[in-house]
Amino acid sequence: MDFALDEDQVELQSVLREFLADRAPEAAVRAQLEDPAGYDRALWDQMANQLGLPGLAIPEEYGGSGFSFLELGLVLEEMGRALTVSPFIASAVMAAQLLLALDDESARKEYLPGIASGSTIASVALAEDSGSWRPADVTVRAVHQGGSWRIDGQKSFVLDGAAADVILVIARTGEQETAVFAITADTDGLVREPLETMDQTRKLARLRFDAAPARLLGTPAGAAAAIAAMLDRSAIALAAEALGGTGRVLDMSVEYAKIRHQFGRPIGSFQAIKHKCASMLVDLESSRSAVYYALWAAATSHPDTAVVAPLVKAHCVDTYLHAAGENIQIHGGIGFTWEHPAHLYLKRAKSAQVLLGDSDFHRQQLADRIGI
């Protein structure tokens, strides 16, 4: 089994890294920090129209490029390096994967072409004020009245929920069953409130539903498996993004250790700094191996996907958070300033750690799935 990237995949990473360095540098990232709902729309249009990124892993029959989840993960790795502010994970990963997993061909034909082209931004609303990402903890209700469905309740921590055109809402239809519903942004009875968060590069929102009309997607009986598949693939996507961030903070640390002098020599010559950088490199490579295997498993629908998804989410985001903290330590005083980008990576790492459930949650999920 060979997990080395082929020539086309290496070229994809190279082109995207150059593209993001040119179109989404640090200054462009900072320009989006003050808007709790915003993203760079010009960059999004370029990502969609020039590179076709939102539709990369969407089948050609629905307007996508038909590549696998592995290529999608390579894109996420580069976006993590660049701290790209965009609705990519919400729309091209979470919403797209949920639609592909649901048994609803008409919904796929209606929503996926817009998601693939970037003209439609979609998101998934699952978590509520409790912060739980378990479908079993959903309290938002969907009631069937007069031939239509209506939703009542509140969702929190919805990724890019204030900017989305279509929201896929997980709601309870009975005591035990949950189902997936589609609601458009202009629906009566929907109120969206951007949330102020520590990580200003990750846009979250709270959504309130007051008898909001909604469209049932698939069937309640098939929703649980589809939601689980979406959550596993989203966890792997976050791990891939974290891998890119870990690589970038290591590069920042090494570059600074070469040019910062104390006592007449580069700080990189001191044993303590050497050990920090070496440890970060070991962690980076272990994360890379784990992420690439998880991407391959997801791309091939391998049975291991359900096991490696919580594993890589817990391991890679924790590695990222540790590396981001070490990066600040290596930079010393300047690493704590607003002007230096080190804190942006630390905040992104922390938000990645709690999104979709924290590391303890995913380790427990892993233990449950392997029968410990």
Rounded to whole angstroms, the Cα distance separating 220 from 361 reads: 25
Q: Output the CA–CA distances (angstroms, integers) from residue 211 to 49, 217, 242, in the order listed.
A: 37, 18, 38
Cβ atoms of residues 4 and 296 within 8 Å: no
**Secondary structure letter of residue 119 according to DSSP:** S
Structure tokens at 75: 């894109």
Per-residue confidence (pLDDT) for residue 3, from 0 to 100: 65
Structure tokens at 5: 């990237």
Mean pLDDT, residues 4-25 = 91
Rounded to whole angstroms, the Cα distance separating 122 from 319 reads: 29
Q: Each residue of 72-129: pLDDT tens digit?
A: 999 999 999 999 999 999 999 999 999 999 999 999 999 999 999 999 999 999 999 9
Right CATH for 224-370 from 3.30.1200.10, 1.20.140.10, 3.50.50.60, 1.10.10.10: 1.20.140.10
Nearest to residue 120, comparing CAs of 167, 80, 81, 155?
167
State which amino acid sits at residue 333: G
Q: Do the strands 166-172 and 122-125 form a parallel or antiparallel pair, or are they unpaired?
A: parallel
**Secondary structure letter of residue 189 according to DSSP:** T
| Percent composition of the chain: helix, strand, coil (DSSP 3-state, to 5) | 55, 15, 30
Neighbour tally for 140: CB within 10 Å: 21
Per-residue confidence (pLDDT) for residue 2, from 0 to 100: 60
Structure tokens at 2: 């060979």
Would you list the domain boundaries of the chain?
7-120, 123-221, 224-370
Per-residue confidence (pLDDT) for residue 305, from 0 to 100: 95
pLDDT at 4 over 80: no
CATH superfamily of 7-120: Acyl-CoA dehydrogenase/oxidase, N-terminal domain (1.10.540.10)
10 Å CB burial of residue 296 (0-12, 13-18, 19+) is buried
Torsion of CA 322, 79, 74, 228, to 10 degrees: 80
pLDDT at 1 over 60: no
Per-residue confidence (pLDDT) for residue 45, from 0 to 100: 95
Q: Each residue of 189-237: pLDDT tens digit?
A: 999 999 998 999 999 999 999 999 999 999 988 999 999 999 999 999 9
CATH class of 123-221: mainly beta
Nearest to residue 180, comparing CAs of 132, 111, 92?
111
Model confidence band, residue 145 (pLDDT cutoffs 50, 70, 90): confident
Per-residue confidence (pLDDT) for residue 336, from 0 to 100: 87
Rounded to whole angstroms, the Cα distance separating 48 from 331 reads: 36
Per-residue confidence (pLDDT) for residue 268, from 0 to 100: 82
Per-residue confidence (pLDDT) for residue 287, from 0 to 100: 95
Rounded to whole angstroms, the Cα distance separating 209 from 187 reads: 10
Rounded to whole angstroms, the Cα distance separating 97 from 327 reads: 34
Percent of the chain with pLDDT over 70: 99
Q: Each residue of 258-300: pLDDT tens digit?
A: 988 888 898 888 889 999 999 999 999 999 999 999 999 999 9
Cβ atoms of residues 96 and 56 within 8 Å: no
Nearest to residue 240, comparing CAs of 107, 363, 68, 364?
68
| Single pTM value for the model | 0.95
Rounded to whole angstroms, the Cα distance separating 108 from 166 reads: 13
Cβ atoms of residues 169 and 132 within 8 Å: no
Rounded to whole angstroms, the Cα distance separating 180 from 226 reads: 9
Q: Each residue of 339-357: pLDDT tens digit?
A: 999 999 999 999 999 999 9
Rounded to whole angstroms, the Cα distance separating 291 from 326 reads: 21
Rounded to whole angstroms, the Cα distance separating 19 from 29 reads: 14
